[in-house]
Chains A and B, each alone.
Chain A
Amino acid sequence: MQADGATPADSLDTAVLRALCARHGDAPERLIEILHDLQELAGHVPEAALPVIAEALNLGRAEVHGVASFYHDFRRAPAGPVVVRLCRAEACQARGALALIDEALEQRGAALGETAADGVTLEAVYCLGNCALGPAGTVNGRLHGRLGADRLERLVAEAFAEEEAR
């Protein structure tokens, strides 16, 4: 996919970042929205982007860094082509979510938060508001309920196929 160290995000133009901030009026209270937009664009929030944003919003680097690291949504390293987020909050646990997660991890020999050899990044999430239809999870942002191991793997395969087709 990409050369070592050089993520597409690192090559994100300063001009692109500035434009992104400008779209939010360079308003410091919009920092979280800006980081969301950046992650949508680049797949994660690259370290190199933070000083540029800090300057545009007239904030300290430490402050921008603090915000980016506080919120669970912001990924600091690139993810694989398919991101699976599985809910491990109580209502999904009551429907067997932990076993589902363990199986998905074991099968890939990866831990939560890591990208497995097959290119799936598995992350934990705490409630997706689908608690009557658990276990719940998302595959590349799309919400799914009544998940079982087979259905999950089918959805992952479909997501890979969709990525290929792009």
Chain B
Amino acid sequence: MTVTLWLPGDSAAASVGADAVAAALLNEAASRGLELRLRRNGSRGLFWLEPLLEVETPAGRIAYGPVAADDVPGLLDRGLLEGAGHPLCQGPTEEIPYLKDQERLTFARVGVIEPLDLAGYEAQGGLAGLRRALALTPAEIVDAVTDSGLRGRGGAGFPAGIKWRTVLEQPAGPDGGSKYVCCNADEGDSGTFADRLLIEGDPFLLIEGLAIAGLATGAGQGFVYLRSEYPRAIEVLKRAICVMEQAGWLGDDLGGSGRTFRLEVRRGAGAYICGEESAMLESLEGRRGTVRAKPPIPAVAGLFGRPTLVNNVLTLAAVPTILARGAAFYRDFGQGRSRGTQAFQLAGNVRRGGLVEKAFGVSLRALIEDFGGGTASGRPFRAAQLGGPLGAYVGAAQLDTAMDYESVAAAGGLLGHGGIVVFDDTVDMARMARFAFEFCEIESCGKCTPCRIGAVRGKEALERILGDRDLARNLALVEELCELMADGSLCAMGGLTPMPVLSALRLFPEDFGRAPAAAAE
């Protein structure tokens, strides 16, 4: 009997040797005359176990990891194909606590199916949302999105339904001109990889979400702005678009409805600022990624001046679930004004790094300690940066913060795109503050002075602080520059760079040559 094995084709898994494991498996199987079928799934997002090899058994899929190519002969000797015990054996995949304790809605199929297997996608509930949407009016689709409480997952947390309605209500234009849907897949935040994981592992879900957005807003053309740092994701998504076109779920007659929706992938070119929506639109028009002044908002005048819906990958990927299972089903996850699930991403110095999809409201401590298992180095936890390079640092005293938009904001931070970067006690927070300014200097679009100049001056001031020169004066200068940047910047690049800087300074003054903060609580 042929045994089926699963091994991720995901780029993170490949980055630690998955392709070499695949080659070793096929070689060994050939030389031993074993019949096995190797299927390449996405990654489950349990990265500390990658490469994670699964074997199908009558009792379900059994996981082994992290597997190196050298482990393959030994694994086969000891009964890998029967799912037998081995030091690398993690037991049934779905029973691994890290996975079992999640609430996977958006990521339900990632790591389970082959990313380009449309039949497999459908068998696991795919296309149900799009089919439902085809039976609704645009206004009814927008109502469902509104009722679900879905908010933008790209960082700002803006209610998705309001944005969709605005685009829907814009006239198509005298020439019947188009509206656009643009998916923001620039994912530039350090500590985030959920967009990539989803696109590589379940690209049809994003395409389905985009098609529903097209139906809801009256847009005939969609673009996915995908960062060039993700070549596998670009390739997988392009191939997935071809599959969906051939199956009639994209193109001139979407699902037999007579409606048109086309989709195109565009590569970014290594500019963080192009994640900002108006800079992204400039880039999609082939120009430098400089930020546009608002108003007008993109929903009114976006790509080529046309009404444009801009949403993050995970915002769009949540929509098929909302349509298929109902707005109430989705809204029942989460708390307060943070509804549904969030893809938390554990990164940096954490023992079990990976993707944790959970309803909003889980505590930061549960994420870092229970899921993450504390620091990778085994040293004491000192700080975590939440929500990317423009997000705040928090310390041990903030670990009981509930992870929803409001609670994190009340704790002085940002949930952002859900990234959590963990640092142990060797981190020098003054260096991290310096880096925040440096990053802003490198990535600023240059349009406004507070950001362009403030970042450089701030970095210089921190260098003097690190060199123990003129502490009081330079610390005052940093505070002043932060105020200037927060108040006078055109966009959140300059406007939020003060957040990591000031949070580091407030929580860890001893790293800046000041007296330690009074221990909180």
Contact = CB atoms under 8 A, between A and B. Distances in A.
B283 A32 contact: yes
Interface residues of A, number: 40
A92 B423 CA distance: 10
Contact of A90 (B48, B196, B389): B389
Nearest to B389: A90
Given A90-B435, A91-B191, A143-B14, A132 B267 contact: no
Interface stretch (B100-108, B149-157, B285-293): B285-293
Given A125-B229, A126-B439, A131-B190, A95 B349 contact: yes
B269 interface: yes
A93 B422 contact: no
A89 B271 contact: no
A73 interface: yes
Contacts of A145: 12, 15-16
A74 B270 CA distance: 9
A133 B189 contact: no
Given A126-B439, A132-B346, A144-B15, A91 B421 contact: yes
Nearest to A143: B15
Nearest to A147: B15
B270 A134 contact: no
B270 A125 contact: yes
B286 A90 contact: no
B3 interface: no
A67 B15 contact: no
Nearest to A144: B15
Nearest to B439: A126
A89 B187 CA distance: 13
Contacts of B8: none
A131 B16 contact: no
Nearest to A125: B229
A71 B443 CA distance: 10
A36 B234 CA distance: 13
A141 B267 CA distance: 15
B15 A131 contact: no
A16 to B, nearest CB: 20
Contact of B286 (A30, A92, A127, A146): A30
Nearest to A30: B286
Contacts of A19: none
A28 interface: yes
Contacts of A35: 269
B380 interface: no
A100 interface: no
A130 B233 CA distance: 13
Given A90-B385, A130-B193, A146 B16 contact: yes
A5 interface: no
A73 B421 contact: no
Given A36-B228, A126-B443, A127-B188, A133 B16 contact: yes
A57 to B, nearest CB: 8
A52 interface: no
Interface in A40-72: 63, 66-67, 70-72
Contacts of B353: 131-133
Contacts of A90: 190-191, 348, 385, 389, 421, 432, 435
Interface string B326-352: 000000000000000000011111100
B231 interface: yes
B202 to A, nearest CB: 16
Contact of B267 (A36, A128, A133, A134): A36
A71 B266 contact: no
Interface core residue of B12, B15, B271, B439 (most chain A CB under 10 Å): B15
A71 B270 contact: yes
B121 interface: no
Contacts of A119: none
Interface centre among B195, B353, B376 (most CB of A within 10 A): B353
Pick the most buried of A72, A132, A133: most chain B CB atoms within 10 A of its CB: A132
Interface in B7-26: 11-12, 14-16
Interface in A112-136: 125-134, 136
A72 B271 contact: yes
Interface in A87-102: 89-95
A83 to B, nearest CB: 13
Given A131-B419, A131-B421, A89 B190 contact: yes
A49 to B, nearest CB: 16
Contacts of B419: 91, 131
Max chain B C-beta neighbours (<10 A), residue from A93, A131, A146: A131
Contact of A94 (B195, B230, B423): B423
A91 B266 contact: no
B71 to A, nearest CB: 16
12 contacts: A70-B271, A70-B288, A89-B389, A94-B423, A126-B190, A127-B188, A130-B12, A131-B191, A131-B353, A131-B421, A132-B12, A143-B14
Given A67-B286, A90-B421, 11 more contacts: A32-B266, A32-B286, A63-B287, A89-B191, A91-B190, A94-B424, A131-B191, A131-B348, A134-B347, A141-B231, A143-B15
Interface of A: 27-33, 35-36, 63, 66-67, 70-74, 89-95, 125-134, 136, 141, 143-146
8 interchain residue pairs of minimum CB distance? A132-B353, A94-B348, A89-B190, A71-B269, A131-B347, A72-B270, A73-B270, A145-B15
